[in-house]
Structure formats: structure tokens, C-alpha cells
Structure 1
Amino acid sequence: MALYWCTECMPLAVTALLPVILFPLLGIMESSQVCVMYLKDSNMLFIGGLLVAIAVEHWNLHKRIALRVLLIVGVRPALLMLGFMSVTAFLSMWISNTATTAMMLPIAQAVLEQLCNTEAESDERELKEGRDNQAFVMSEVTTTKLPVDNFIKDQSEVSDEECEWNSALEAKRKAREQKYLLLNKGMSLCVCYSASIGGTATLTGTTPNLILKGQMDDIFPDNPDVINFASWFGFAFPNMVLMLLFSWLWLQCMYLGVNFKKSFGCGSSNEGDREAYKVMKEEYRKLGNMKFAEGAVLTVFVTLVVLWFTREPGFMPGWATELNKKGQFVTDGTVAILMSTLFFIIPSELPCTSSCNLDYDDGEEESSENQTPRKQKSPPALLTWKVVHERMPWNIVLLLGGGFALASGSEESGLSLWLGQSLAPLKNIPPFAISMILCLLVGTFTECSSNTATTTLFLPILASMATAIELHPLYVMLPCTICASLAFMLPVATPPNAIAFSYGTLKVLDMAKAGFILNIIGILCINLGINTWGTAMFRLDSFPSWANVTHGAP
């Protein structure tokens, strides 16, 4: 399965179905045990989160949020880059990284194009005004000369002036094109990179996060729901902010230079800024006023996030604490499905209570006394199954299930136990060094393979290794899961990179140079987090008793 996933000789989802065939035939697991892995609680959480994301995209709520924030941030180069990175990362926390990148890149391109066009007009106008002023002064100085000599000299001087003006205009054009080529590259990279970084902040932001949640619950069934939406956000969100800030500084230095005074503008304003601001304002104006459907989706979305955070916050009793005293009855997946079901119930428009929109039989006028109204047609719901069917990536659901089945089969067969015992000599290495080496390994591997396949393959091995050397499983599993999303160096590494590369301004070398440093930044930030606030949150400095009991092994 690892070979098939890396080479993609078959579709990833089809490869994920191999355990259904091979595990029963090889006597590893019963068919009923394997098949149930494909719709675990984590899959339901994934489906519920995707339904929310589909509703947000369907009603263009994400575009309204993005443009509103960008209008607040402004259009100065450095602030514009920071604004696009912040908005992209925030949206990527809730909707797919691919959809976020596909929406944000055209907006960034339009703003940069307007800035470039306005600067070109400004340069041409400035040079023209300088030439006119110079010609005016020259004519005043030479009025006392003889008419013929004056005419000949004026002609030659005007001709020389025209050549100088054209040369200056050409020089300005080349400098401007080079400047905006770099800015375009920087903006494209900042959008696709921040989409990948933002997806790490929430449990539903990207698939590897859910794989960790599912495999922790499967391999360590006695763990006290150590990974849930609130605990993941508490660790991953500060880490995401840290990575985003350092990534912005690196891209700023690489593509805008270290002249922060010029990049930030320092309070000055020019026509290019105003014109680019108008572009974003016009895009926002096209969206019109917020509709009832957008407000309803936003309300359901905010309610879902609040319910996720308050279900089992850990530091205080949550609303589901009483229900979960005898087991995990209510999980994040329960909440996700509950709230996403509302999208199929709530209408997209307020029903009209007046008779003005009713249809009447026999072509009678509405003012007629004998009018017979037909049944009023109800507005469609916020989501229909047709929309969901078109946009739901069902292949990822199978891929998730295949990963869970593979992990369970590794435990049942004793493969994970054997691998863990083989890695027992690592006990002599300091834990922070183990984490750093594994993060580098996963970060390199994910550049050539999908982040889902990478996480699926590595997590069972890491869990066995942690148990063998008596290290908290999350100390290695959590940073490696986040590192699986740090695929920054190649266009084929992740869909956001491919979308940014498709615009034609980037070269593979550009992405490799910028992405290599970002990979290092990400690995250092993650290991800083796991050794500071991560250790305090999850008590990673001790080996938990629940880690001694694994699924399929004594």
C-alpha cells in the first residue's frame, strides 16, 4: 500500500480498499472488523466538517469574509502580503486548502495588476510633465536668438529630449516589470503556503489531523479523549500563528527586500494604493448586502465552533461531561453531524407570508374575489444533496478508512509491536532529538507523497516506537502529523502549490528555495511548541498508563 500510494499506480482511494480484500484472505482480520473501519467516528467528523465548508463556499460567505478583512488591512505591499496570508490561513482552518487557494489567488492577481497599471500611468505622466516643463524653460531662454538658428536648435534639442524620454520610460517599465514579477511570485507563494499552514490549526482543517485523532482512538482505546477539537486548537493555533509570522518575514525579505519603510509605506498614500483599494471595494460591492442564507450559514458555523470548544474543554466541565461519564457517547463527530444536518432543514430564504407571491388558478387576477391560491412553493434549503454530491470528496473518506484499517491490521498481526521493539535502541537518544529527526524524515517524505498517505504510514510505527521506549505517544505523533502538512518545496507536493504554479510566474526553483527555508521554520516552530506549551497541555513529560494498553496487543 505504501508503494502504491507513493507511485500512484492506482487511485489513492482504490489502494485504500485493499485491506477489505487482503486482510480477510490472509487471516489477519475478519471482514466485518475491517469494513467498520471505513466509517469510524473520525470519518463522521470529517464529513460533518466538509458539509459546513461546502455550505460556506456555496453561499460565498468565505469571499465576503476575505474581502472585508483585506479592505481593513490595506494594500501596502507588506501589509497586503500579511493580509492575504492571514485571511487565507483563517479560511483554510474551516474549508479545504484547495478551495481557499483557488479563491484567494485571483483576488491577489487582480489587485497586483491594478497596482502595476496605475504605477505605469503614474510613471508616464511624471516623465511627460518633466519633459513639458523642460521644453517650456528652454523656449523662454532662447527667444532672443535668430529665428532660423533658434528653429534648428529647438528641433535637435526636442529630438534629443524625445529619445531621452523614451529611454527613461523604457527603463522605468523594465524596473516596474521586475518589481511586480517578484511581488507576484511572493504573493502566489504566500497564499498557497498560508493555506497549508492554516489547515494545521483545527482538527478538521486538513486530513492528517483527523488521521491522528482516529489512530489514537484505535491504537490506544483507553486514552481519555486526549485529542479533541479544543485540545488540538489549544496547541496548534499558537503554533500556526508562529509559523505564519516567520513565513511572512521570510517571504517579505525574499521578494520585497528588507526596506520595511518602503514596504509599509509609513503613512504615505499614492494613487496606486487607492486604485487597488477600489478594485477590492468593487469586488465586495458586487456581493451586495448579506443575504438571509449567508447569515444563517454564519450562525450555524459559529454555533458549531462554540459547541466544539465547550463539549470537553478539559480545564472545566463541558456541556457533554455528564453524558460522557460512562463512555464517549457524544464526540466532535456527533456535534458536526448535528449542526450540518441543519443545512438541509433551514430554508435559504424567509418564507413570504403575504399573498403577493402566490400562484392562482384559471389565470384570474390577484384582485379577483374568487381567486383560488395554489400551494405556495417553499424556498430551497441552505444545502441540497445535489450540491453536496458534486462537491464532497468521497475519495478522502475511503482514504481515511483505509488508513484506519491498515493501522488496525498492523496491530492485530503484531507488525507494529515488532517495529516498536526494533526501534527500542532509540531510548538512549534524548526525546527532543528523536522528535526533530522524525519531523525531518516526515517533512522530506511528504514532499513526494500525499500528506494523507504519509501520516497513515508513519503514525502506527511511531505509536509502537513510543510504547517500546516508554515515551508519550503524542510527543512524536503530534509534531509528525503537523509536519506532514508542510509540503512547500514542489508544485506536485500539494494541490495549493499546484494551483499557484499554474499561474505561470513561478518556477520550480522559486518554490524550492522559498519552501526549503519554510520547512525548516515549520519544523523548528513545531518542536518549540511540543517542548513548551504542548508538554504542559498534554503532560508529555511522563509516560501515561493508557499507552500500555494497545488495540490487538497485550
Structure 2
Amino acid sequence: MPARTRPAANRPRPGAPDRLEPLNRRQIIGILIGITVFVAPFLVDVPDLDPLGERMLSIFLLAIVFWVSEAIPLVATAVLVIGLEVLLISDQAVLPVPADATAYSSFFAALANPVIVLFLGGFLIADGAEKFHLDKNLAAVLIKPFTGSARRTVLGLMIITAVLSMFMSNTATTATMFAVVIPVLGALPEGRPRTGLALSIPVAANVGGMGTPVGTPPNAIALGALAEAGHAVSFLDWMMMSIPLMLVILLGAWLLICAVFLPGGLAVKLDMRAEWYTDRRAVMFYVIAAVTILAWMTESLHGLSANVIGFMAIVAMLVTRVMTGKDLAGLSWDVLWLVAGGIALGDGVGATGLDVWILNLFNWTSMPALAVVVLMGALGLALSNVISNSAACNLLVPLAMGLATSVGGLEPVTIAVVLALACSLGMSLPISTPPNAIAYATGEIATGDMAKIGLIVGIAGTAVLVLLMPTLWSAMGML
């Protein structure tokens, strides 16, 4: 009997909007708590905080609850922050404000912050690499010297993943690498070896994203906060500060994965071939991407800001029709707006004096600078394990920048960079980062294995970061 078709009225129409999933219990609780903490400062007088600061406290508490609970999408919270700042604390506020209130355009300007433009250029180059199969071809070429031994192959995959993650989003890199390593998984025996290889990809992607300003959103958030405070950190400066740590953690993670999952002497055979595009558009993209990356790394020689270079890359790719408006529309705009929300949150916290008020709640000034760095690094790691790395960085960087002006001997660059890098090390759960979720979806990884490796790498990496790296940065003249 032929299958019955659904009535036309019940069929989804082409182009119809997606059905919204019902709110789960955590989201409902998050919304209720968010509304409560938002309203509270309006109803209860907060000691030593003026009305403008109380309104910003409402926005800040709401952002914390919504980002932690994901009561609404992260990007929705980011734009809600900007909207509430305009309506409550700007010169266009619906409630009375002082004559010198921050111009509303300052909060909107977060959406076009130079760091956003830098990230936009990085995203477009990353999408171009995927479009012209540059990522897969590079992986196929670079993995050849590492074939034969399973341990050596995993080392090669981790190095390639980390390098790609320095210039592509961690999510895109992980998805690309899993497409590349499916034959490798098939060549390994079932069980622990496959788990080790599958775990190596998200670990390397998360760690590799630390390496450049465009590698991951926390880097952009920290750079934006530093730029707002008048502390310029160049593309190369960031790489010089982060890559030594990245390499140490990457090596340590590989040794740990080998010890736990990959027995010595395990062999693997691979047959991976690169198929390069050689048409005009592909060659043009290769040239633009290479020149852009080279220009980013030689910023101190030619004097052009990395933000300007990123924008010029966008111009070059669109004018030469290497990339199109359709490619531009397909970028991860939600991530860019999330970063903008964090920048705007920091602006509001600073403009209303809320940062000073929060810092006065604790006797931070009695703590040595090292203790503050250790505490903030630990907070960044802990929080980014249970909420997104970007959201954790968004919440903590404004407070950290306030600390930098009140704690003797604490460099703003140190605390901001430490926080960004610590947030990237939160990777112990499938929900911690998109690369973890992609790897977990392969079915090769148990949550316990991911938690064990993620916690060891995260805690050890953060310890090296907070205890050793500031001294190294100072010795290198970076601070």
C-alpha cells in the first residue's frame, strides 16, 4: 500500500523557519534567576554604588547568569548586554543619567571594534582554506613524515592541528582533521589506541588556538580590552608570548596520550594524497593568505596594524572575487558578535565605576601580584570547563583589567593574556568546547577519558602559565 502523504497544511514549507526547541529545565531556571538578579539592584540600594553603577551591576549579573546557564544563546546575551547598556547607562538611556554619560555610539562601536575586523579577516581566510581544500591538502602533505609509528602519527596530527588552529577556528580545524584522520582511525585496533588518536585532535585544536590573536575568541577579547586600556599588543608579540607555552603543553599532552593510550611499537599505514586546486581563484587565494600571514608576523617591520592587515585581506579577496558576498554571509557572525558583547561589557563596567566597586569587595591590594595572577588563571580554567571559553573570558577580563590598575606590580598585559590562555585550557568535558563535542560525537571517546586528559592538561598547563610565563615574558622584554 503506498505511503500516505501528510496534508499540505502540515508539511514544512521550503524556507520555513526552523522549529524552536522547548526550553529545558536549566534554561527556565536560568531565565528566572537572571530576571531576579537583574531586578534586585533596582529594588535594593547597593552601598557605595551610584544609580548608574547599580544599573550596570544589573546588566553584569544578568550576563553572568545567562552565559553560565545558556538560558538564551550566548550571542543573544552578548547583544542583550549592548542593548541594555544603551537603554540604561548611555546618553540615550530611558532613565535619568548624568550629563557626561557615555555616548550610546560607544557601545554600538563594539560591533566594529578593530579586533572584530581582525577576527573577520581571519575567519574569511579560514573559510577560503576550506573552500579551496588548502587545509586538507596541507594536512595530507605534512603528515607524510610522521607515518609508520602510531605514536609518531599522532604527534604529526597534533602538530598539524595546532598549526591550523592558529589561523582557523578550532571548530573548523577539528572538523577538517577528523575528515582527514578517518583512514587513520580505521588503521588502528579498536579500543584505547583509537581513543588516544580521537582525543589528540581536540586537545591540539584547543591548545593551538592560543598561538595567535585570531586563533580563538578569548584572544580577541583580551586584545580588545588591552586596546581599550591603551596597551597595544602586536600580532607577533602575542605569538612570542603564547607559542612557547603552546609548544610545552602540546608536547606534554602528546606524551600523556602516548603513555595512557598508545603502546610502543604500534604501527599504522597511511595513504594520503593531496589534490591541489590550480585555477586562478585558488592560486590568488594562496597568495593573499600567504601575504596576509607574513604581514601579520612582520608587523613591527612595516608598521601596519594587524587589524588593518586583516581588513586589507578581506578587501583583496572580495575585489579579486576569490571570495564572494555569499562567503562573507556564511562566516561565524555569532562568534564576532559574542566578542563584541564582551568588549561592550568591559566598556560599561569601566564607564560606570562598577569595576572599582567590585574590586573593593575584596582586599585585592593586600595580595601580591603573583597571587592575583594565580587566582585569576584558576578562575579562568575552572569557569571555562563548564561554560564556553568565550563567555568565561568575557566575564573575567573586565574585572582583571580593573585589578591591573589597583594591585601594585600587576601588569595589564600579564593578567589579560593569562586569562585568555587559561580559558583556552578548559577542555575536560564534551560541553567545554566545540572541538570536544565533535570528538565525542565519533563514539571513540568515553567522557571519563576526556575528563582525565582534559583536567591533567588544563591544570598542568595553567600551572606553567601562571607560575613561569610572566617571568619569561618579562625576561623577553614583552612587559
TM-score grouping bracket, smaller chain normalisation: 0.7 to 0.9
Aligned partner of 1:511 among 432, 436, 450: 450
Name 2:175's counterpart in structure 1. Answer: 102
Aligned partner of 1:384 among 315, 321, 324: 324
Contact 1:419–1:464 (8 Å) recurs in 2: no
Name 1:454's counterpart in structure 2. Answer: 392
Distance in 2, matches of 1:309 and 1:73, equals 27
Distance in 2, matches of 1:504 and 1:440, equals 31
Q: Kindly provide the amino acid, as one letter, of the partner of residue 357 in structure 2.
A: W
Distance in 2, matches of 1:510 and 1:201, equals 26
Distance in 1, matches of 2:422 and 2:314, equals 29
Secondary structure at 2:405 match in 1: helix
Name 1:253's counterpart in structure 2. Answer: 259
* Alpha-carbon RMSD: 1.8
Instruction: Give ranges in structure 1 of 5+ residues lacking alignment.
Output: 117-176, 264-271, 313-317, 321-329, 347-380, 541-554
Secondary structure at 1:197 match in 2: helix
Name 2:49's counterpart in structure 1. Answer: none
- Cα offset, 1:332, TM superposition: 1.3
The answer to whether 1:413 aligns with 2:355 is no
Distance in 1, matches of 2:444 and 2:82, equals 44
The answer to whether 1:308 aligns with 2:300 is no
The answer to whether 1:438 aligns with 2:376 is yes
Name 1:233's counterpart in structure 2. Answer: 239
Q: Kindly provide the amino acid, as one letter, of the partner of residue 240 in structure 2.
A: G
The answer to whether 1:342 aligns with 2:316 is yes
Distance in 2, matches of 1:298 and 1:7, equals 42
Name 1:531's counterpart in structure 2. Answer: 470
The answer to whether 1:46 aligns with 2:129 is no
- Cα offset, 1:13, TM superposition: 1.5
Q: Kindly provide the amino acid, as one letter, of the partner of residue 15 in structure 1.
A: T
- Cα offset, 1:480, TM superposition: 1.4
CA pair 426-539 structure 1, distance change in 2 beyond 3 A: farther
Contact 2:124–2:314 (8 Å) recurs in 1: yes
Contact 1:23–1:30 (8 Å) recurs in 2: no
Name 1:499's counterpart in structure 2. Answer: 438
Contact 1:185–1:255 (8 Å) recurs in 2: yes
The answer to whether 1:82 aligns with 2:21 is no
Distance in 1, matches of 2:407 and 2:354, equals 16
Name 1:66's counterpart in structure 2. Answer: 139
Name 1:195's counterpart in structure 2. Answer: 205
Q: What is the percent sequence identity of the aligned residues?
A: 28
Distance in 1, matches of 2:418 and 2:441, equals 30
**Deviations, residues 496-526 of structure 1 (Å, cap 9, x unaligned):** 0000000112111111111111112211232
Q: Kindly provide the amino acid, as one letter, of the partner of residue 96 in structure 1.
A: S
Q: Kindly provide the amino acid, as one letter, of the partner of residue 453 in structure 1.
A: A
Distance in 2, matches of 1:484 and 1:344, equals 34
Name 1:181's counterpart in structure 2. Answer: 191
Aligned partner of 1:485 among 421, 424, 448: 424
Instruction: Give ranges in structure 2 of 5+ residues lacking alignment.
Output: 1-62, 91-101
1:82-481 to structure 2, matched below 5 A, reads 82-113=155-186, 115-116=187-188, 177=189, 180-218=190-228, 220-221=229-230, 223=231, 225=232, 227-257=233-263, 259=264, 262-263=265-266, 273=268, 276-278=269-271, 280-281=272-273, 284=274, 287=275, 290-312=278-300, 318-320=301-303, 330-346=304-320, 381-390=321-330, 392-423=331-362, 425-470=363-408, 471-481=410-420
CA pair 431-386 structure 1, distance change in 2 beyond 3 A: same
- Cα offset, 1:250, TM superposition: 0.7
Higher relative contact order (Cα pairs below 8 Å, separated by 6+ residues): 1
- Cα offset, 1:334, TM superposition: 0.9
Name 2:81's counterpart in structure 1. Answer: 19
Distance in 1, matches of 2:200 and 2:334, equals 28
Distance in 2, matches of 1:433 and 1:32, equals 38
Distance in 1, matches of 2:139 and 2:119, equals 24
Distance in 1, matches of 2:478 and 2:286, equals 36
Distance in 1, matches of 2:148 and 2:141, equals 13
Secondary structure at 1:493 match in 2: coil
Distance in 1, matches of 2:83 and 2:145, equals 55
Point out the structure with max Rg over C-alpha.
1
Task: Please give the TM-score of this superposition, normalised by the length of structure 2.
Answer: 0.81
Deviates more, 1:337-346 or 1:7-16: 337-346
Contact 2:226–2:416 (8 Å) recurs in 1: no
Distance in 1, matches of 2:69 and 2:240, equals 36
Contact 2:234–2:299 (8 Å) recurs in 1: no
Distance in 2, matches of 1:480 and 1:24, equals 27
CA pair 31-426 structure 1, distance change in 2 beyond 3 A: closer
Q: Kindly provide the amino acid, as one letter, of the partner of residue 336 in structure 1.
A: G
Name 2:95's counterpart in structure 1. Answer: none
Contact 2:429–2:451 (8 Å) recurs in 1: yes
Distance in 1, matches of 2:276 and 2:376, equals 50
**Deviations, residues 122-143 of structure 1 (Å, cap 9, x unaligned):** xxxxxxxxxxxxxxxxxxxxxx
Task: Please give the TM-score of this superposition, normalised by the length of structure 1.
Answer: 0.70
Q: Kindly provide the amino acid, as one letter, of the partner of residue 468 in structure 1.
A: S
Name 1:7's counterpart in structure 2. Answer: 69
Secondary structure at 2:428 match in 1: coil
